[in-house]
Chain A
C-alpha cells in the first residue's frame, strides 16, 4: 500500500481549504460562514503540523497554537458582532444585512 507522506497531509489541507472557501462564498447564514472560516484555519493548522513533522522542527506546532488562539478570538468577536447585528436587524442572513448599501 502507498505509504502516507507529507504530501497526503498537504492534499487533505488543500481539500479542507477549498471546502471552507466554498462555504464562505456560497452560504448566506453568517453562523455557517464563521464555521467555514474555522475550517480554513484548521486547514492551515494541518499544513503547519505536517511541515513541523517533516522538518522535525517544533516551530510549526508553536505557530499552530497561536493560530488556534487567533481562531478562538476571531470566533468570539465575530459572534459578538453577530449578536449586535441581530439586535438591530433581526436577521442572520448575510444578504439581508445591507446597512451600508446606498
Chain B
C-alpha cells in the first residue's frame, strides 16, 4: 500500500516537474507546478508530517500559485519562442543528466545506513499540536525573526511593484 502510494505520487511529481520545465506557455507550467505541490503533500502525509502537508496545499498550491497565475495574467506573457541549441547539447544533455542522477542515487544508497522502512502511520510526530509546541517553545526566536523577514518581504514587494508617482 505504502509502496504503491509512494510510487504513484513520486512518478506524478517527477512527470509534472519535467512538464514545468518543458512547457513553453507559463500557464501550462503553473498548472503542472500545482500537480507537483499536490503530490508532494501526499508524500509528506506518508512521512507523517500532517501539518506540513496541509501547509503545502494551502500555502503553495493555494497562495503562491494564485500569485504566479495573477502575474502571468497581468504581464500577458505569451509562449516562449524556441531557440535552436547546438546538436551536441541536445544529444548529450539528457543522458548526462540521467547518469548524474544515477550516480547521486548510488552514492546515497551506499553512504546512508539502512533504515527501517517508511510506513504510513509509523511516525506521528508532525501533528499541529506537536509542531506548535516546538515552534512556540524551542524555536521561538527563529519564529519571531521570520515575522520580521515577512514584513521586509511585504514592504519590498509593495515598493518594487508600486507605480511611480511624479
Question: Which residues of A line the B interface, CB within 8 A?
Answer: 1-12, 14-16, 18-20, 22-23, 26-29, 31-32, 34-36, 38-39, 42, 45-46, 49-50, 52-54, 56, 58-59, 61-62, 64-66, 68-77, 79-84, 86-87, 92-93
Give bound CA distance, A9 to B3, whole Å. Answer: 12
Residue pairs across A and B with CB atoms within 8 Å: the count is 216
How many residues on B have C-beta within 8 angstroms of the other chain's C-beta atoms?
Answer: 76
Which residues in A have their C-beta under 8 angstroms from that of B97?
A: 18, 22
A9 pairs with B80, CB closer than 8 A: no
Assuming the contacts A5-B114, A32-B29, asked whether A61 and B160 have C-beta atoms less than 8 A apart, the reply is no
Which residues in A have their C-beta under 8 angstroms from that of B46?
A: 4
Closest CB-CB distance, A101 to chain B, in whole Å?
Answer: 18
Closest 5 CB pairs of A and B: A73-B153, A80-B160, A3-B117, A80-B157, A23-B21
Which residues in A have their C-beta under 8 angstroms from that of B74?
A: 83
A23 pairs with B20, CB closer than 8 A: yes
- 0/1 interface trace, chain B 10-24, chain A, CB 8 Å (1 if under): 100110011011010
B142 pairs with A46, CB closer than 8 A: no
Question: Which residues of B line the A interface, CB within 8 A?
Answer: 2-3, 6, 10, 13-14, 17-18, 20-21, 23, 26, 29-30, 33, 36-37, 40, 43-44, 46-49, 51-52, 55-56, 59-60, 63-64, 67-68, 71-72, 74-75, 77, 80, 83, 97, 100-101, 104-105, 108-109, 112, 114-118, 123, 125-126, 130-131, 134-135, 139, 142, 146, 149-150, 152-154, 156-161, 163
Q: Can you list 13 A-B contacts with CB-CB less than 8 angstroms, sorted by A residue number? A: A15-B14, A15-B17, A34-B68, A35-B20, A36-B20, A45-B56, A53-B123, A54-B118, A64-B52, A68-B55, A72-B63, A72-B150, A80-B161
